[in-house]
Structure 1
Amino acid sequence: MRGPLARFTRPTEVPVVEEKPRLDNDKEIGVVDNQPRSSDGDSDADAIDSNAQAGVKKIEATTKVWTRSSLIMAYVFIWIIYFVDSMQQGMGSLLTPYVTSAFAQHSLTATTGVMSGIIGGVSKLTLAKILDIWGRPQGFLVVVLIMTLGLIMMAACNNVETYAAAQVFYWVGYNGLSYTLSVFIADTSALKNRGLMLAFISSPYILTVWITSPMAQSVLDGIGWRWGFGIFSIITPIMCLPLFFLFTYNYQKAKKEGLIVHKPSGRTLSQSITYYFWEFDVICLILVSGGFALFLLPFNIYSYQYYGWQDRLTIALIITGGVMLILAVVWERFYAPVKFMPWELLKDRTVLGACILAAVLFVEYYIWTAYFTSFLQVVMDLNVTQTGYIGNIYSLGSCFFSFIVGIAIRYTGRFKWTALYFGVPVTILSIGLLIHFRQPDTYLGWIIMCEILYAFSGGACVIAEQMAVMAAAAHQHVAVVLAMEGMFSSVGGGIGGTVAAAIWTGLFPKKLAQYLPEESQANLTSIYGDIEVQLSYPVGSPTREAIKLAYGESQKWMFVAATAVTGLGILSVMMWRDIKVKDFKQVKGRVI
């Protein structure tokens, strides 16, 4: 992570400070040259930070030389990338139950995402290093390649294990791509407008919610889920490369104008390997990723072990994971020459509170959404297209409401109130109501009402949470605090998926055994493991009604757990400082 790295030589790309008079002000939303004058008329305040890491210097130089049209084009490219990725992600979430069912492992639907979520989150800290040391475009290209590899692996997988491994690559790439684009937004927008810009780049979800469901249905009815992933493995890199070339072109332009002077590091190959090994704190990365994965995995698979919780493998995984996490803390505290976790930033109550809120929101989200699409099809008797529309209410509503939140933050200059008085309380209300409403024979409109409330509150929480971590840090630390927030989110998602899988595998088969009529008891295993078998029983038949009752009992406890954990969100928001961002100058150059 970024921070005092006195033991190592920094990459030696030294910027030459360019002084340029201010051309405009940033009182209104629009492209501005964010260059306050010093008393002598020069733009000293807009000079490239000589103490920043090389990647930060590069982006500051880029924003000083690019034109208004380049800035607008960058945001257009970012919007297109989000549009493509939101289509793929939305379709993929609908296909996952059918992928796991294809291998008779539908109950592992939540489990497949646990390790991928954890590693995807922890890897953001490594990606932050790449962005800060090598540069934003380089990190962007790396995650695009990883995401493409994950899509290829999903298309070619022949078992759940391979699909889970593909999910790791995909979510490392997908989360990394989203994170990198968020850093681009932070680099190229004034803080008071950033909430609005974050809402803008999320706006493709408002359109894709109407596309992904029919697309998933068409894929299942036609080319099959393999080609559903395969097509996007071709489209994704094609849509991402124009942004890479735009930033690279403007970086080369900055070099030609003398804003950045490259000097060789003087290190040999072996010295460079050693340097980056410690710089990226590989030991901590392995301990944290492996520790969380091994500790949480038994909660997902214990029901498959002969002795359940008492099985030696289950106990060994929990102990090994716990020991690795303890070793990670000891290593960082006493031995790491370069800290992977920026403790000095975590001590800031606003940053820590925002990270806790991020974790809480993802824990509760992954608990109650893990089997939501299956519930809508099996219990509410909806087809894939209808399921997608209901499931995408959150994306549609949160993206729409985030514009309102962004405008409110711009004109009030503050963000804490949006989460404290609206976002978190309404989230708790909406999840709590679903304890009662998400049951068999419930009127679908009540579920939709709760989903809409949840979506609006989610839009407020996410924007406020990201604004909190960025407002509490200097531009030099924006990438790392966003990575920390992303790591807490992903680990929270892993925990949420783990809780969901533990509740499901612990309750659902027992309730099936309790409710299934005698003639269907012999099929209990196939009903438990395959959503298509569940759907094969006619609506109203004794077996289908038994399955619906088992879903309802299992889902109820998921919502109880989700509601309880979301209460921590109120305490985390209360920790924040009420920072005024309206006149806060954080970034340099030509920005929004």
Structure 2
Amino acid sequence: MHIWDVFAKIKSSEDDKPAPEATTSQGDEKVASEVRTSSEDSDTESLSKHAQAGVQKIEATTSVWSKSNLILAYVLIWIIYFVSTMQQGMTGALTPYVTSSFQFHSLTAATSIMSSIIGGLFKLVLAKILDIWGRPQGFILMVFVLTVGLIMMAACQDVETYAAAQVFYWIGYNGMNFSMSIFIADTSSLKNRSFMFAFSTSPYIITSWISGPLASAFLNGPGFRWGFGTMAIIEPIVAMPLFFLFVWNYRKAKKLGVAPVHNSGRTTMQSIKHYLIEFDAAGLLLLCGGLALFLLPFSLYSYQSNGWQSAMIICMILFGGLLLIAFALYEKFIAPVTFIPFDLLKDRTVLGANILAAVLFIEFYIWNSYFFSFLQVVNNLSITEASYVGRIYTIGSCFWALVVGLLIRWSGRFKWIALYFGLPITILGCALMIAFRQPGVNVGYIAMCQIFIALGGGALVITEQLAAMAATSHQYVAVVLAVEGMFASVGGAIGSTVAAAIWTGTFPGLLQEYLPASAQGDYLTIYADITEQLSYPVGSPTRDAINRAYGESQRYMLIAAATILIAGVFAVLAWRDLNVKNHKQVKGRVF
């Protein structure tokens, strides 16, 4: 089925009770009349009276906007994804060179640990912003944070500033994409939602071919700073039209008397106190601080003269563990509003989906953290060539997700796709890489493994998100997707931590063991800088030694990645075999 066949299936739903009289144009009067007539026909189509303000606002918006506005919204979402995915791919390609410019190539994985933790946990805060204040407000806030991160990356003068910039960038990037995912969930029926999710991320199929050459152009031209600075200008420009489209339609709903009116009656200080409690700020700080302090030492210990016996490393692990215990106790006995909606996790389908999300991200970040560097150093690929191989997963998974979306629309079920196809082929691809990601092996075998993992990923990510959403109501869609995103991001942080721990625990020692005597004096420079590694000719004793060290370190990473996937099988087995074909979850004019 072509994408426009799905557009043709748009259905207009009924909405609220009769709106109060207002001064309207002839077109608005027609819309108001339709809304009033619809509500008279069916009470089930009225706004969710007990839902939070953000949910009511989006339901009011979708009740009054036109078919052309709905299609325009999806076109704008596709354009935003196109620009942001192109920029994200470019950032990934440039990161090893940014860290190497500060002589810290081995921190390539570590820079993403903190950003993954905070970026993932912040989704729960963002979900509350979207539910309490509104979808457009949360979206534009994330665009601002993303832009700040890009500006910081363009201006950074050391690896610490770059790591801080990554935190802002990933909060903004993940948050912007999360906001658009909620838009899609708000404006699509369950049976079509997987396909619309896949459609929105389909730009990856194109941008994966662009991001590598773009990174090369900036790296070989004006420099990586100009690359980040350019995108800091472009990102907000392409995001603003979607924001104004939703705001304009919401104001239209208010004008017609369809949108709810909320007045808290609180003073400014009372509102600040209310939102600090509502967002569980104390719990958020305890959890972020605890995870960061506990995970970071695994990638930083090799930089301390005493290694694991360093006072700083011991203190970080100790205080990180204490903060995590304090978080659990605070949420159990003190917090007026809990940060994590534990009641939702009692549903085995939701819990299984979240566990699978964590497993997939742990597995991915373990084998992917130094993959781009491996392709350049061991396989002697250029930045552009390495980006093509590295992006096979992205291209393949996004393409296959479209197919999976159509299969779900046809069958109404999703568990069988994950259990009998997604997981087996992902495990196969990851296991084969243990043998094929080694020096002297043709890069075509690596590409084959990437294709297997891509097909599995395209099936698993879509089904896992749908499982979480199908098990709850519209009021909790933002929250369950935020929890799923939190599990995924914390899983990514754990994966990066494992990768960094394996790398720093094996690669330096292997280098010292294999490097010829003539290169032993340059050991630290070779370890810290990818450009130094690439400077040795292919086939020289030093380059062979570097390649051999890479291969052995990668083998340990891949064994760990393949092993963790077994947990994903049990997670999927826990899902209920839900049928989404006739399940109505959202209101208004939706796909």
Contact 1:394 1:455 in 2 (8 A): yes
Matched, 1:117 2:116: yes
1:93-112 residue pairs with structure 2 within 5 A?
93-112=92-111
Matched, 1:32 2:4: no
Equivalent residue for 2:451? 452
Q: Per-residue displacement from partner, 1:45-66 (whole Å, max 9, x unpaired)?
A: 1100110000000000000000
Unaligned runs of 5+ in 2: 17-36
Contact 2:67 2:589 in 1 (8 A): yes
Equivalent residue for 2:535? 536
Equivalent residue for 1:306? 305
1:341-490 residue pairs with structure 2 within 5 A?
341-490=340-489
Q: Per-residue displacement from partner, 1:314-344 (whole Å, max 9, x unpaired)?
A: 1111111111111111111111111211111
Report the alpha carbon displacement of residue 462 of structure 1 after superposing the two structures with TM. Answer: 0.3
Contact 2:99 2:107 in 1 (8 A): yes
1:71-150 residue pairs with structure 2 within 5 A?
71-150=70-149
1:525-564 residue pairs with structure 2 within 5 A?
525-564=524-563
Report the alpha carbon displacement of residue 460 of structure 1 after superposing the two structures with TM. Answer: 0.1
1:163-242 residue pairs with structure 2 within 5 A?
163-242=162-241
Q: Which amino acid aligns with 1:165?
A: A
| Distance in 2, Cα, partners of 1:358 & 1:48 | 32
Equivalent residue for 1:10? none
Unaligned runs of 5+ in 1: 1-25
| Distance in 2, Cα, partners of 1:41 & 1:252 | 23
Q: Which amino acid aligns with 2:222?
A: I
1:498-577 residue pairs with structure 2 within 5 A?
498-577=497-576
Equivalent residue for 1:159? 158
| Distance in 2, Cα, partners of 1:263 & 1:346 | 30
| Bigger Cα displacement from structure 2, 40-49 vs 476-485 | 40-49
1:260 is paired with a residue whose SS is coil
Report the alpha carbon displacement of residue 43 of structure 1 after superposing the two structures with TM. Answer: 2.3
Report the alpha carbon displacement of residue 34 of structure 1 after superposing the two structures with TM. Answer: 3.1
Report the alpha carbon displacement of residue 30 of structure 1 after superposing the two structures with TM. Answer: 2.1
Q: Which amino acid aligns with 1:348?
A: D
Equivalent residue for 1:14? none
2:543 is paired with a residue whose SS is helix
Contact 1:413 1:581 in 2 (8 A): yes
Q: Which amino acid aligns with 1:30?
A: K
**Percent pairwise identity:** 60
TM-score, normalised to structure 2's length? 0.94
Contact 1:29 1:193 in 2 (8 A): no
Equivalent residue for 2:590? 591
Contact 1:401 1:459 in 2 (8 A): yes
Contact 2:57 2:260 in 1 (8 A): no
Contact 2:7 2:71 in 1 (8 A): no
| Distance in 2, Cα, partners of 1:87 & 1:27 | 26
Contact 1:103 1:160 in 2 (8 A): yes
Contact 2:153 2:165 in 1 (8 A): yes
Contact 2:14 2:38 in 1 (8 A): no
| Distance in 2, Cα, partners of 1:158 & 1:502 | 26
Report the alpha carbon displacement of residue 28 of structure 1 after superposing the two structures with TM. Answer: 8.9
2:209 is paired with a residue whose SS is coil
| Distance in 1, Cα, partners of 2:502 & 2:576 | 37
Contact 2:286 2:323 in 1 (8 A): yes
| Distance in 2, Cα, partners of 1:266 & 1:461 | 46
Matched, 1:62 2:61: yes
Contact 1:424 1:457 in 2 (8 A): yes
Equivalent residue for 1:20? none
Alpha-carbon spacing, 1:40–1:261, altered in 2? closer, same or farther (3 Å): closer
Alpha-carbon spacing, 1:70–1:36, altered in 2? closer, same or farther (3 Å): closer
Equivalent residue for 2:244? 245
| Distance in 1, Cα, partners of 2:427 & 2:45 | 43
Contact 1:413 1:582 in 2 (8 A): yes
Report the alpha carbon displacement of residue 39 of structure 1 after superposing the two structures with TM. Answer: 13
| Distance in 2, Cα, partners of 1:64 & 1:567 | 44
Contact 2:149 2:166 in 1 (8 A): yes
Q: Which amino acid aligns with 1:268?
A: T
1:264-343 residue pairs with structure 2 within 5 A?
264-343=263-342
Contact 2:56 2:260 in 1 (8 A): no
Report the alpha carbon displacement of residue 260 of structure 1 after superposing the two structures with TM. Answer: 2.2
Alpha-carbon spacing, 1:409–1:469, altered in 2? closer, same or farther (3 Å): same
Report the alpha carbon displacement of residue 305 of structure 1 after superposing the two structures with TM. Answer: 1.1
| Distance in 2, Cα, partners of 1:334 & 1:583 | 41
| Distance in 2, Cα, partners of 1:40 & 1:303 | 66
| Distance in 2, Cα, partners of 1:500 & 1:415 | 31
Report the alpha carbon displacement of residue 262 of structure 1 after superposing the two structures with TM. Answer: 2.4
Contact 2:60 2:258 in 1 (8 A): yes
1:343 is paired with a residue whose SS is coil
Q: Per-residue displacement from partner, 1:405-452 (whole Å, max 9, x unpaired)?
A: 000000100011111111111111100000000000001111110000
Contact 1:508 1:550 in 2 (8 A): yes
Q: Per-residue displacement from partner, 1:340-382 (whole Å, max 9, x unpaired)?
A: 1111100000000000000000001000000001000000000
Report the alpha carbon displacement of residue 259 of structure 1 after superposing the two structures with TM. Answer: 1.2
| Bigger Cα displacement from structure 2, 75-84 vs 305-314 | 305-314
Report the alpha carbon displacement of residue 213 of structure 1 after superposing the two structures with TM. Answer: 1.0
Contact 2:331 2:338 in 1 (8 A): yes
| Distance in 1, Cα, partners of 2:196 & 2:386 | 30
| Distance in 1, Cα, partners of 2:248 & 2:6 | 30
Contact 2:426 2:456 in 1 (8 A): yes
Contact 2:298 2:497 in 1 (8 A): yes
Q: Per-residue displacement from partner, 1:209-254 (whole Å, max 9, x unpaired)?
A: 1111111111111010000100000000000000000000001001
| Distance in 2, Cα, partners of 1:91 & 1:557 | 28
| Distance in 2, Cα, partners of 1:40 & 1:145 | 38
2:41 is paired with a residue whose SS is coil
Q: Which amino acid aligns with 1:195?
A: S
2:145 is paired with a residue whose SS is helix
Equivalent residue for 1:15? none
| Bigger Cα displacement from structure 2, 310-319 vs 142-151 | 310-319
Task: Count the aligned residue pairs.
Answer: 567
| Distance in 2, Cα, partners of 1:40 & 1:132 | 24
Contact 1:424 1:570 in 2 (8 A): yes
